[in-house]
Amino acid sequence: MPLDPNAVPGLLRALDSHDVFVRITAAEALGKIGNPVAIQRLAATYDDPRANVRRRVVRAFERIGVEPKANVAAQVVPGLARALDDPDLQVQAAAVAALRRLDISSGWAALEAWETRDTDGGGT
């Protein structure tokens, strides 16, 4: 069942919930809807202390970035690049996969920069 794009404002508010499951569900739903209006608010949510929420934010970035109608892949790259340095390895792996799936030059550049830092001992 497709999600209603009219739900975006409520889902954006739900990202501030004290309940981790509400935040996770909101991030997932925003990704499924694919509305680029959510990018900035999802980026702010990336500061969540729970790795589960950060993983959902990364997946939401990926889904929004690959949505052909949105045409905003480059706008999600900064958020995904930030996730490459996440302390949680699953968040990092999700970011790597998302950047590869976007398959755009800025995404590949972010991956290359991260891999270079990592091999120089500066990354995780």
Above 90 in pLDDT, residue 20? yes
| Architecture of the domain spanning 5-119 | Alpha Horseshoe (1.25)
Could you give the dihedral angle defined by the CA atoms of residues 58, 35, 64 and 72, in that order, rounded to the nearest 10 degrees? -120
Average pLDDT along the chain: 92
**DSSP 3-state assignment of 101?**
helix
d(CA 12, CA 7): 9
Could you read off the pLDDT of 32-63 as tens digits, one per residue? Answer: 999 999 999 999 999 999 999 999 999 999 99
Q: Which amino acid type is present at position 45?
A: T
Above 90 in pLDDT, residue 70? no
